[in-house]
Every structure is written in C-alpha cells, then in structure tokens.
Structure 1
Amino acid sequence: MVRKRPVSTFTETTKPIALIIGGGTVSSYLIHTLEDRSCKVVIQDSYKPMIGKFDYIFQFGNFHLAKDILFKHLRENGKYLFIEFEEEEKIGSTDDNKIRIIRVGEINFWSIPVLVDHILRAMFSLDGPNIMDIRKKAQVKRKVLPKKKETVKEELYGITDKKNQKIPTFPTEKSDNHNADHSPLSIKKATSMKVIATKRIALFFLLVVLVISLVGGSLYFYINSLKKIYTDFKSDLASSNWAAVSLDITQAEKHLQIARKIYDYSYKILIPFRNTSYLKDFDTILTVNEDLLKTGKETLVFFQKFKPLSYSAFSDDNKITKADFDRSISLAENLTQVLTDARKKMDATAIPYFPKDTYALLLSSYLDKLSVVHQVLPFFEQVLITDGEKTYLLLFQNNMEIRATGGFIGSIGLLMVKDGSINKLNIMDVYTVDGQLKGHVDPPLPIKKYLSQPHWFLRDSNFDPDFAASAVKAYWFLEKELGQKVDGVIGINLFLAEDLLRIMGPVNLPDFNNETINANNFFFKSQYYVEKDFFAGSTSKKDYLTAVSNALQLKLAEGQNLPWLDLLTVLRNSLEEKKITFFSKDDVLQKDIEKAGWAGRMVNVSCVDNKDQNTDAVKPREVSLCLPDYLSVIESNFGVNKANYFVNKSVAIEKKINDSGLVVTILTLSYENSNIPELFKGGDYHNYLRIFVPKDSKLLNATLNNMPISPSEIEVSPYENDKTVFAMMVKIASGNKGAVKISYTLPSLFTKDSTSYQFFYQKQMGDKNSPLVLSVSYPERYSLTPVNFNSTSGNKQEIFYSTDTSVDRIFALENKIR
C-alpha cells in the first residue's frame, strides 16, 4: 500500500513571500506580524532544500548556511536577515550588502513583541550598519511591592479563612477588656515588641527570598549550562567523534550531579515551598536530563562499537551479527521513547528564562536522527544476515542518460555477502558482459525503432518502468551471458554516489593521477575517465568505478569521524526518492521491500484509505465511492548521450471536472536543454516519452510547442491490467526549449454520489527533482476539499497547489455532497 507523503513547498502568489528558518516561539509571533501586513509566510524548523525564491528571508542561527540559502532562495531585489541568538557564531565581517545580521543574544531576556519589532526594523530599515548588536545581559529587577501584595505571604503560609478573608496574623486587644494596661509605658513597650516582631518577620522573608534566589540561580546556571554541552554533543555525535562525545557526557553528568545536590538540599530546607510549581518544574527538568543521560550513555557505548556501514572487505573485524542489529534497533527504540517523554514533560514546565524552546529543538533533532535507525537497519539486517553466501547484481544506472528505471546501465557489479559481511564486490563494464551473449534476443519495438538496435542486451534490459520486471530481465541476461545466478538485484543511480561523497567528503584516487573526487565533480570526472582513450573492450570505466568504490569502502572501514547517522539518513532518503531500488528472489524479503515503498514497483490504480495509508486495511465503502486517478511520466534517453545533465523540466497538471462528471486532464511538460555543444558532448535530447494513465483513458490531443503531434506518431497501448500508455518520441535540441501538452479524459465519471477523489503521481526513478503544479476546477454541484494538502487558490471552485516531484505523491480530495 502506497504511503502518503508529506509535502514541503511554497506557492506562487501576488503577495510578497517570506521564508522563516528556525526561531521557535519568536518565529510564531513573527509569522502573525508578517501575515497582518499581507505577507505570505513559509516556515521551516530547520533548513531543508526546496524549490523557489522569496522576497524576504529570516534565518535564525546556522550562519554557515547563509550564503547558500541567500544564493538559492532570495529573489533579485529581496531582503535577507540573519538573527544570531543563544550561542555566538563565527561571523566576522561580511562584505555582502545583501546580508544583514542582528545579534539578539539570549531570547529569554527579551519580550517577544519587542524583539520582533527590532527584527523587523533591522530587516526593512533603509540605512544602518550591516551588523547590529542588541544583546542584553541578565538583570535582577528590584520591585517595590504595594501593600496589597502582603497576600503573597498569606498564600505561602495558607492563613486565609474559607471566605478568602485575611485572618490577622497577630492577636488583637479586645475593646471590652477593662483590665488592659493603657499606661504610656505599656503602650511604648507594646509598640517596641511589634517593631521587633515586624523586623524578625521581614528578616525571615528576606532570608527565604535570598535562599530561593541562590538555589534558583544555581539550579538555573547548571541546567542552562547543559544546553551548551548538548549542542556540542549534537555536533560531535554527527561527526562520530566518540572521544568528544564521551567528554560531553562526562561534563553533562558532573553538571547534573551538582544541580541535583543543590535541589535536594533546597528541598529539605524550603519546606513551605515544596508544593510550588517552581520546585516541581526544576525536579522534572533534572529527572528528564538524568533519564536522557542514562539511556543515551548506554546507547552510545554500543553504537561506538557498532558501525553498520563499515563492515566491508576492507575491515579487519568485518563481521556483524543478528544480535548486533537487534541490539542497536532495541536501544534506538528505547532512546526514542525517552526523548519523546522528555519533550512532553519539558513542554509542561514553566520556569522563567529557561530556554525550553532550544531544548525542544535539540530533542526533536535527536528524534529525527534516531527514526532513521529503526527505519533502515531492519532492512539491511535482512540483506546482510544470510544463511550462506548471497550474491546481488548491482546495476549502475547513469541517470544523466535517463532510462525507465533510473538510467543507462553502463556498468554492473556482483556483490557477495555472507554472515553479516561484504566479502567481495566485482565491477564490470556492461559492454564486456554483453559481448559474451550467445544467440539473438529480440528487443522491444521502440529500442529497435529509435535506437536502431536489432538485438537486446543487458544494458537495455531496464525498458519496463516497473523495477521488479526489469530486474528479472536483467538477471536473466546475466545468466545467459556469464552463467551467474543471483539472489537479488539492486539499482543505483548517480545521485546516490554524489550524496555519499557530499556526506563523507572527497576521496583520492592514486591510480588516476591522485585525482580528488567530490560530489561536485563526480559526474564530469566520470565522463572524462570513461571516454578518455575509449575503445571496444576498454576497461577504463570499470577501473574508474572500482577505484571510487574502493576509496569509499576504505573510508567507511577506517570510520574516522564519519557522520554515521547522517549516512543512514542519506540511505533512507535515497530509498524514499528512488535513488536506490531493490528486488529480491526471496518472497518474504520482497514483500517487505514493497511494503516500505523501496521496490520501484508501478502502483495499482486504486484508492486507499485516507485515515490509514500505512496498512493494507481499506474500508470497502470509501473505496467504492472514491474515484481513483493516476499519472506517471516515464522518459528514456535514446540519443546515446548524457543530455539529461543539462535538461530541466517542470510539470503542470490541470484537472477539469465538468457538469456531467467527466474529468479532463491537461498535462504540460516544459523542457529546457541548456547544453552548449562546444563545451560538452551532451547533445540533443531524444526523449522516448511514455505517459501512464488509468486504463481506457481517451487521448484528446497532443502538441509540441503548440504544433499538433500526428496521431500516427503516438503509440497507445495497454500496460498491466489497469493502465493505458501514450508513447511518442520528443526531441529537444541543445540550447532550446520545448513544451509537450497532452489532453485526455478518464474512463470513469465523478458522479454526485462520489465521496472522494484520489490522484496519485508516481515519480520516475532517477529523474531530477522538478517543480509540480496541480490545479483542479469543478462546477458548483460539487464541494471538493483537500485532505492532505492546502489549496492556495482564492477561487471557490478551484484547488491550486505547488510542490515537486522528489517523491511519489497522493493528492486526496473529499466531496461534500450537496
């Protein structure tokens, strides 16, 4: 069952658009202020790459990201403001006039409205310095309490009557006591005693206030100091600097032990205040931190030894057991539960000036990192922990020459794993392997027609966009060509290699002029060494990819300060975004892969239950009254070049429902081929374009740059049992643009009894991330409401939404029957 994907994007609007990154409670107030001034606001807790540019950008913290964010997301005449808060960052001087900086220091020292006013002045003032420093220092404000505040004393001691009337603290003389001594001496003596008593009471309260201030100040100091330690801990953990992590934990334990001793001592002497929320909240914070350190220390001791990605043929201790996997998953789940409880308990506290929001952000970041562990490790446990040796066929798919399942298969690899270790990885040039095929295999007609290829080989085996179907064909060719049997197939595209290099850092290739390879130059260096002195039977491509693979494995095996959790996150995201796909001959493992959405299967055209899209449970009534819709755009570069490096596209989908319930779809694919032939042999983009839609959908018309495409040039055929395919060849020359527009109708009507409509957009493996715009218009007889996204259209009978094609997406609409 396909899972619903969260959408993170912004939409086009005539109003100015502001982006706020971070800020906690300050950002919440800032949002309302900007919206009151007719500004559209997009908020991110932490920076995540997105599509689009903004008029105003407010960035809280992480100055090292400033220039990247400004370059990618600030419009030409936009304004950018960096807000330094909590911890001082290394900013230095900036010569970029577009970067304005305001240093506000500890947020808890500010009134939020006043701080937001300063931030807005810094952003929108026409003059003034580029760097403004308005940091405050903690001050103890002395207040003279009015007489009525003596009720505080009464509340502390509980000396009020049931009617909430003050009961006199001292006995008073009765007016009818005739024996009272009213002599001047007696009056003077009584007055003196009252003065002494008042002084003693004042002294007592002064002592109490002093004790509370000392205790509270000490507790605050030690607990607040943990924030700095936890921030360092987060950085050290990300880089797997275990020595620094151990030091961070030791420091945190010392600070926490001192804070606990101060609290326990104060609890004994401040008897009247034991039930106050002030002391209770301090106890909660101390307990939360004690639980975190206890569970976190146990977890980190294990993970320091257990490095699941470093178990390769280059490691001396290269065996990993099922118990290691199970223990790591269990510890991660326990720590996740402790972090979740800690966040809830800390949210309930209310200690003045305590940086609760900062702690909440730290806890949330830890939870996000840990979620990857129990998402990814169970899967790798199934792949690596085997009964006997398992062999997997690796398909290295170059998605700069896009093909149906990711890219042209230029090289393959045979990966052998046994008992939790990678025993061998053998990389081969696909042309060498294909050269050993005996006999003739008839290719699919488009390969024969557009590639002028009369034979079918392993390199073109991924013609079917369903990865499982293409994987079966690939290992069939492998058996025929090499006589090699495999247990599964793994598809990998260029983006995964770039992501790994981006996280792990550059690698050096001694056999290639000691070349330094990084995420930015990987593609160009690959092309250079592959095409240099190339001839039939050349091993240059195999040698280069083997050198890169060995360098990465060696870096993993050494494991020096590598960000292991970030690496797991890259793998998780690559699985979600189809940069890596799996097929297994083991039916149980294959079912788990498909359930996780990592198998690259073409999904069925059907509705799923909006309330629970992570299970197979679907309510029959909801499905029967739901109209399913589907679209997948599959491209294959048949130009024998790497044009896709230079090709960008955008996707616009219009859904128009008329009075009779007929749904008309207008799909517009806008391409731009920015290649300059004199600089790079990218060439023209020969795109064998296939549009997969619900079965029996009717094609109305198709155009290229507003010129009709002849029906004879469009192939219409069935696919599986629930889809129809519109296929055509589209050419976009170097340095040119092109727009393909296709109109078609769905086979089923959206009737007045239909309760919902679900449109599934399926991403092609290996395709670049492209902007995606969806609009739905409908007559007044319907009342459609988005279920899992927010429309930005101002029109009553229209839904408009802007996102991207990074992952598969479900757009669910509910119809309120009129």
Structure 2
Amino acid sequence: MKLIIEELEEKQKILIISTRKYPFLDILKNNLKKLNSEIYFSSLIPKSIQDFDYCFVINEKVNFKNLNYSKKNHIVHIFLKKSRFSPQSPFVGKIVICTGDFIREHEIERILWFSFSKSDEKQLLINNPSLTKKHIPPALIFPWKISLSFKSLIILVISLTMLFHVLFILPLIMASFYSYQAYNSLKKEDYQSTEILLSQSFRAYYLARLLYMKVRPTYLLFSIALFPDTTIDILDKGLQTFQQSLSAKKNGEYILKLLLKKGKTETEINETKLRMQNIQKQLASIEDNLTGLVQKLPLQFNLTTNTKKQLLETIDGLHRLNKLFPHITGILQNPDEQKFLLFFANNMELRPGGGFLGSFGILRIWNYTVEDIEIHDVYDADGQLTAHIEPPMAVKKYLNQPHLFLRDSNFSADFSENYEKAKFLLDKEIRLRDFNGAILLTTNAVQNILAAFGNIYLPDFKETINKDNFYIKTQLRTENDFFPGSIQKKSFLGTLARQIIIQLEQASFQKIAKNVKKSLDEKQMVIFFEETNLQKLVDSFYWSGRVIQPKCSYQIGSCNIDYLFPYDANVGANKVNFYIQKSINDLINISADGNISHKLTIMYKNESYDKVFPGGTYKNYFQILLPKNSAIKQVTKNGVTIDEFIETNNEYKQLGFYFEVEAQKTAEIQIQYQLKTDLSKGKSLFQYVVQKQIGSSSPNFSMEIVLPQNFTIVNQNFSPLVKDNRMLYNTSLSTDKIFFIEIIRN
C-alpha cells in the first residue's frame, strides 16, 4: 500500500481593530477568509496581541509601551484621510496611508499583498477621493451677485409683512375642516375617529390662534378683526364642546354601570355620587358652549342652517335635562325605596289615555341602585277585584263592562286622572300602594327605545326582537291562545325588559336620549311625579299628558283664547288603529263684528281588511273638548246629521258620540260651532291651542283662517300662506300646538 503524507496548513489568526464600522471592512474580512484565516474583530485595542499572527489597526494610534506583543506579531496600521504619516518611536508594523475616507475592493488587494509580503517596505500610499467632499455642479454656482434696489427692498418687506399677517389662515382652515369632520363622526357615534380628528383640530387651532394673536392689533387697527375673532371663538367653543361630550359619554357609561350594579360598597356609592356631580357640571358647560356657538354661527350661510337647527334641538334637550338633573339625583340618592308604576299601553287599540293597558310594571330605585323591574299582566290584578267601581258610560255601554278594571282605567284624556284611578284600583285589587310616580309607554315609545339597541335576542323564546317586528311578535306571543290568567304575555315582556337592561351598556346613548325625548315630545311617553316641584317642571315641558288649561301667554289689548282637543276610544276590542289614517282640517271664519265660527272636519280612513287580524271595523267613541262658551251648530258623519251625542259643560264643553268605520271605508266627521270673542277695535291677540291625544299617530293638521276687510294681521308665531285676508297653514300634529296671531281691528 502506498502511503501519502499531507502537510496540514495551520490557520492564521487575524485581529481587526476599529472603533467605527467602515464600509470597506466587510470587503477586508471576505478577502482574509479566502486566505483560510480566522478573523476576529474588536472595537478596542487589547492589552496583548500575542495570540494573533496579524493585527490590522484602522485609523487608531497605538501606544506600544503599554501593548504586550512579540516579533512574530505582524501589525498593519491603516490611516484614512491622511497624505503622510510620521511615526514616533517606538513604532512597530507597516503603515497604509489613504488620502480619502474609503477604500475600493481592488485597493484592498494591494493592502493585503503589501501586508503579507516580506519586503522591507514600511509604508503604502493610496490616493483616492473623499466621499464626504461636496461637489457642486457648475450649473448651481451663480456667477453674479443679487442686488436689490431700495424700492424692491420696500416691496419685499411689505410682501413678507402681509404674508405674516395672513399666515394664520391656513391652520385655521385645517382646524375648521377637522372640527367639521369630528362633528360628523360624533353624529355617527364613531367616537374613535372623533378623538383622532379632535386631536388634529386642536393642534391646528392652537397654531392658528398663536399666529393670529401676533397680528391681531393690526386687524383691530383697521377694524377687520370681527370675522377672525368670531371664527376662532366658534372653533374654541366647538372644540371644548366635543371634548366635554366625549368625557360626559364615558362618565355616563360608567354611571350606568354603577347604577345597575346591586350590592354596591360604600366606596362605589360615593364614586357614583361624585360622578353624578361631575356629569351635571359637564352637561351645564356643554349647554353654555353650544348656546354661545349658536349665537356666533352666521345665518346667511346655507351650510349652517341645518346645523344650527340640530344644535338648537340639542340645546333644548340639554336645557331640560339640566333642569331635571337635581331632581333625578334626588330620586337616585334617596336611601328609602322609590317606587314607580310603569304602564304599557297598546295604542293600536287606542284609548283616551294612550291605549289599552295590557301590562303594568313596578320600577324600584334606592341608594343609587336600580333594584328591580317587575312586569305584570293586567289580568293578574283585575282578576282579584272584589268591589264594584262604576265605569265610564262608554266602557259600560260599548265594552259591556259592568265594573271598572285597571285595563280600562285610562279612559280620561288627562294622564294625572288616569294615574289616580290606577292607584286606587291597584290598592283595591292587589294592595299595591305608596308610589312615587308613574310612566306610561305606548307601543310606539317602546319601538323608539328599541331603535337604540338594534336586535335583541330572547333565548327563552328563541326570538330576535327589534323596533320593526316588536309589535307583531308581541301580538303573536300574547294574543294567540290567550286567556285571563295566562302568563305568556307577562313572561315575554318580562324577558324583553331584562334583556334591554342587560344590553343597556352596549346601546347607543345618543339614540336612547334622542328617542326618549322624541317619545315625550310626541306624547308616546308621559310622566307623573308625586313630588310637586318636579311635577311642575315636567308640566312646563308638556311631558305629563295633562289637559291644558289655556291662559294668555302675554297681553296685547284684548286676549281671546280658542281651544281644540279631539280624542278617540277604540271600543271594538281589536287592534285596528294600526291601519287608521287620520287628518284634521279647521276652517275658521272671523266675522266683521269679531265673532269666530269653526267648521272642523276630521277624516278617518280604515285601511284594514275585514275579518283579518288585527284589523276589522273601527268602533270609535269620539270625544272633543272645546271652549266652554262655544255653541254647537251641527254634527255630521259623511254629510248625515248625528243627533245622538252627549254634551256637557264643565271646565270645557265636552262632546261625545259613537260611530263606526268599516274596513276599506272612509268616514268624514264634521262639527260646526261658534265662539263668542272680544276681538274689539284696536290690537287683539288670538291664541289657539290644539292638543294631541296621548298615543295617537301624528295626523295631518291644516288650519285656514278667513278674516274680514276690517281686520289686519300684524304678527304670528307660524309661517302660513297668506292671500286676500286668508291664512292657510299645514303641519303635522305630532305634539300639542299653540298658535298666536296679533290682529288689529279697524
């Protein structure tokens, strides 16, 4: 066997010392690796280099007195950006001098050849340019000098001064844009985007304000500071309002969470109290800022017309809430249980007080805690009545009820009267008493509230409820196979109430507040409180469902009050009001001697189908309240005189009669009456109050006033069409209306 002997070459150890990471170091390392070497790198000069065969020192001076080395150690010094180098004794190794601050790849090869060669040469010079040297192209070098004449210098100074005086406009426009976008995001309840846009708007606003304040004295000098002052003030109030609204929202969410929590600690009760005080201040501040904002908004721009209308509605809601807030706090913080009756009125079976009372509930509150909401079927209570209570004539005659029960107790057009009857009946039926107030909600009010929740799933019934299907689902669940004593309606509505409370924290606060106010304004929800001062406040908002006692709002010469309140009672035991369309037209003639005659026409259209649930014939006991001194001339249905009607004279003249409207038919009710007034010579005030029934739809209402030649209209609080001493006004009777007309009789 032939033996082959190979001599293994031992790898050389090479150390590179550099305090900076130069670009050429990677090239140096790669080339050294090709030479089968072990490469080491250090940013500091070690005390000893005896373990290394070669040592490359980059741009550093070595103190050889303190360095431990031997003759076998080969040291190569590489200096950058030098043209020459004079070593001081003692000095060991070879020197590479580069005139530039970088080394190319082919120059690395020269350095390595020089480093590893055994020649006696000690220095290697590499001429290369510097990367950091700026090379200015000839085209950018101006060979001439710029010289300005005195006139040009003056123009330049004036131009710069003018520019400085309008510099604030750009950030002001940006701040306005971001604020408007924040307003739109807030309306859409996109609170995250609102906060981002608000932050951007604040930055732009502060810059605009800073720049404007520098030049404001000049604007004042020339009397042109009004517009920028107004714009900046609008922005300031708007931004403060946005910021406070977001803060109040977060505070309100936490308060709601605390109110719904049972068994609170003393700390949590105190926190709720402090947060209630804080949100009251926030709401008051928001109202003040919005009021100031509306006063500043210019009327002449169409862009602000709708915005201003929305702001006025918001201010009205905040004003009412701020007035109510101390009373709300008083109810919540009371250490004694506060108990409120809840009435659920089905206004698809309309009654004078809002609708058939199918269910009622009890809300219990004490010590900043909503303790419980109980829902009861009205038949649970009515089934326990043992005493005889005389019912109203219409209930006895048309509903064939010999006794008055809770379900028929809201047969008055005044909610306070119905509340007193309901309290009396509940005491007699199931010994429930000592209530602090009551709230009536119609089907429409519940639908308005559900609009803020979207879909609500009821796991016990495997049903999804929303504002659109609430009525139909409720009717199917409560009417099918119903019998007195059945618990299906109570169970269904109770489950829905509990799910609403559970999902309250996820609901839209903005929509809840807006829709609750809408329900109160439109009399789909009415409230009564036992506490006198609080009830007076609710009365002033027209939220209590009372029959108004008209009084002259202000005195101008003689004051003449006219009044109209028509209301229906479905006595057909069906839900046909879902299909009834109603319109009211009042033709008012004022004679030359100042007397007033009315020709009131009310149209009923029954769009239901006969014998198809929930429609059928509309059996209506109609009633109307008129001024006490009015004289009835004629009552007709479809042109045929109605002789059988009940007329009473108490505080008002009350007229009542029964009529029917068959399915797919129309009925025209016409009432003609006269009113003696004191429209004497000179200036007079004609005040006309028209009330809407609780729970009724919002019928179209048109009013035509015909004046003789000796009367002149001076002013009115509505916008009619006027031609040849005739005034025509159309509106929707969504709430109670009060019309003022100032008249001069010649």
TM-score (norm 1): 0.67
> Which residue, out of 286, 294, 303, partners 1:335?
286
Q: Deviations over 1:589-625 (max 9, x none)?
A: 222222222221111244321xxxxxxxxx4x74xx2
Give the match for residue 537 of structure 1: 485
| One-letter amino acid of the structure 1 residue matched with residue 448 of structure 2 | D
Determine the structure 1 residue equivalent to 2:448: 499
Alignment of 1:593-608 (within 5 A): 593-608=538-553
Distance 1:275 1:484, change over 3 A: same
Cα 1:364–1:808 change in 2 (3 A) is closer
Residue deviations 1:337-371 (CA, integer Å, cap 9, x gap): 334445555659xxxxxx98757865764554344
Q: Aligned equivalents of 1:210 and 1:794: distance in 2?
A: 60
Distance 2:338 2:381 in 1: 21
What is the match of residue 379 of structure 1? 324
The equivalent residue for 2:8 is: none
Name the SS for the 1:641 alignment partner: coil
**Per-residue deviation, 1:528:** 1.3
| Greater radius of gyration (CA) | 2
Structure 2 partner of 1:557 = 505
Match of 1:662 in 2: 595
Give deviations 1:641-669, integer Å, cap 9, x for gaps: 11100001100111223344432211111
Kindly report which structure 2 residues correspond to 1:300-339, keeping only aligned pairs within 5 A, or say none: 300-307=246-253, 313=260, 324-339=275-290
Alpha-carbon distance in structure 2 between the residues aligned to 1:255 and 1:461: 62
Residue among 724, 727, 747 paired with 2:653: 724
> Hey, what does 1:102 align to over in structure 2?
none
Following superposition, the deviation at residue 786 of structure 1 comes to 4.7
* 1:793 counterpart SS class: strand
Question: Quick check: 1:771–1:803 contact (8 Å CA) kept in 2?
Answer: yes
Within the alignment, does 1:692 sit opposite 2:625 as a pair?
yes
Q: Does 1:222 align with 2:171?
A: yes
Going from structure 1 to structure 2, the CA distance change for 1:739 and 1:786 (only over 3 Å counts) comes to farther
Partner residue, 1:413: 361
Give the whole-Å Cα distance in 2 for the aligned partners of 1:399 and 1:732: 18
Cα distance per residue 1:184-229 (max 9 Å; x no partner): xxxxxxxxxxx987x442344245435644774x633322222342
RMSD of aligned residue pairs (Cα, Å): 3.2
Secondary structure of 1:293's partner?
helix
- Determine if contact 2:451/2:511 at 8 Å carries over to the other structure: no
- 1:382-423: per-residue Cα shift (whole Å, max 9, x none)? 243353111111111111111111111110000111133321
Tell me, yes or no, if structure 1 residue 801 matches structure 2 residue 729: yes
Amino acid at match of 2:344: F
Amino acid at match of 1:337: D
Identity fraction in percent: 27
Distance 1:241 1:271, change over 3 A: closer
2: distance between equivalents of 1:420 and 1:328? 15
Query: For residues 547-696 of structure 1, what are the structure 2 equivalents within 5 Å?
Result: 547-559=495-507, 562=508, 564-609=509-554, 619=555, 622=557, 625-677=558-610, 679-696=612-629
1:435 Cα deviation (Å)? Answer: 0.7
Q: Distance in 1 between matches of 2:276 and 2:482?
A: 44
- The answer to whether the 8 A contact 2:559-2:678 is kept is no
Secondary structure at the counterpart of residue 534 of structure 1: coil
The gaps in structure 1 that reach 5 residues or longer are 1-194, 349-354, 610-618
User: Secondary structure of the equivalent of 1:672?
Assistant: strand
Q: Secondary structure at the match of 2:537?
A: helix
- What CA distance in whole angstroms lies between the structure 2 residues aligned with 1:219 and 1:315? 54
2:408 pairs with 1:460: yes
Structural mapping, 1:35-434, within 5 Å = 199-206=149-156, 208-209=158-159, 212-213=162-163, 216=166, 219-238=168-187, 240-260=189-209, 262-263=211-212, 267=214, 275=221, 281-282=227-228, 285-286=231-232, 288-290=234-236, 292-294=238-240, 296-298=242-244, 300-307=246-253, 313=260, 324-342=275-293, 344=295, 347=298, 365-366=310-311, 368-379=313-324, 381-383=326-328, 384-387=331-334, 388-434=336-382
C-alpha distance after superposition, 1:715-774 (max 9, x if no partner): 11134xx20111000100111111011112225564446722222111111110011111
Q: Identify which range, 389-398 or 412-421, moves more after superposition.
A: 412-421
After the TM superposition, which of the residue ranges 439-448 and 455-464 deviates more from structure 2?
439-448
Residues 279 and 579 from structure 1, CA distance in 2 versus in 1: closer, same or farther, beyond 3 angstroms?
same
For the 8 Å contact 1:314–1:554, the answer to whether it is kept is: no
* 1:272 to partner: Cα distance: 7.3
Q: Distance in 2 between matches of 1:774 and 1:440?
A: 45
Alignment check: 8 A CA contact 2:179 2:238 kept:
no
Q: State the distance in 1 between where 2:457 and 2:155 align.
A: 71
User: How far 1:548 sits from its partner (Å)?
Assistant: 2.2
Further displaced range: 377-386 or 668-677: 377-386
- Name the counterpart of 1:776: 705
Question: What amino acid sits opposite 1:681 in the alignment?
Answer: P
Q: Is the 8 A contact 2:346 2:358 kept in 1?
A: yes
Q: Contact 1:373/1:568 (CA < 8 Å) preserved in 2? A: no
Of the structure 1 ranges 302-311 and 691-700, higher mean CA displacement relative to structure 2 is found in 302-311
| Paired residues of 2:406 and 2:422 also in contact (CA < 8 A) | yes
Contact 2:715–2:743 (CA under 8 A) maintained in structure 1: no
Mapped to 2, the partners of 1:736 and 1:701 lie a distance apart of: 23
Task: Give the C-alpha shift of residue 289 in structure 1.
Answer: 3.1
Q: Name the SS of the counterpart of 1:755 in structure 2.
A: strand
Partner of 2:70: none
Is the alpha carbon distance of 1:682 and 1:310 closer, same or farther for their aligned partners in structure 2, counting shifts above 3 Å? farther
Instruction: Give the whole-Å Cα distance in 2 for the aligned partners of 1:377 and 1:511.
Output: 40
Q: d(CA) in 2 for partners of 1:272 and 1:583? A: 59
Residues 242 and 304 in structure 1, CA contact (< 8 A), matched pair in contact too: no
- Aligned with 1:445 (options 388, 393, 399): 393
Aligned positions, number: 592
CA deviation vs aligned residue, 1:126-164 (integer Å, no higher than 9, x gap): xxxxxxxxxxxxxxxxxxxxxxxxxxxxxxxxxxxxxxx
Shift of 1:281: 4.8
CA drift of 1:240 comes to 4.8
- What CA deviation, in whole Å up to 9, does each residue of 1:258-281 have, x standing for no partner? 4345556xx47x997784567775
Contact 1:666 1:744 in 2 (8 A): yes
Q: What SS is found at the alignment partner of 2:446?
A: helix
Q: Report 1:724-763 matches (<5 A).
A: 724-748=653-677, 750-752=679-681, 755-763=684-692
Amino acid at match of 1:305: N
Displacement of 1:586 after TM fit?
2.1
Aligned pair 1:519/2:467, yes or no? yes
**1:26-60 alpha-carbon deviations (Å, 9 max, x no partner):** xxxxxxxxxxxxxxxxxxxxxxxxxxxxxxxxxxx
Shift of 1:438: 1.8
Counterpart Cα distance in 1 of 2:448 and 2:178: 30
What secondary structure, in the 3-state scheme, does the structure 2 residue paired with 1:601 have?
Answer: coil
**Offset at 1:490?**
1.3
CA displacement at 1:439 relative to structure 2 = 2.0
Contact kept, 8 Å, 2:259 with 2:368, in 1: the verdict is no
Displacement, 1:323?
5.2
Change (3 A) 1:781 1:310: farther
Q: Could you tell me which residue of structure 2 aligns to residue 174 of structure 1?
A: none
- Give 3-state SS (helix, strand or coil) of 2:168's partner: helix
Once residues 599 and 499 of structure 2 are traced to their aligned partners in structure 1, the CA distance between those partners, rounded to angstroms, is 48
| Structure possessing the higher relative contact order (Cα contacts under 8 Å, 6 or more residues apart) | 1
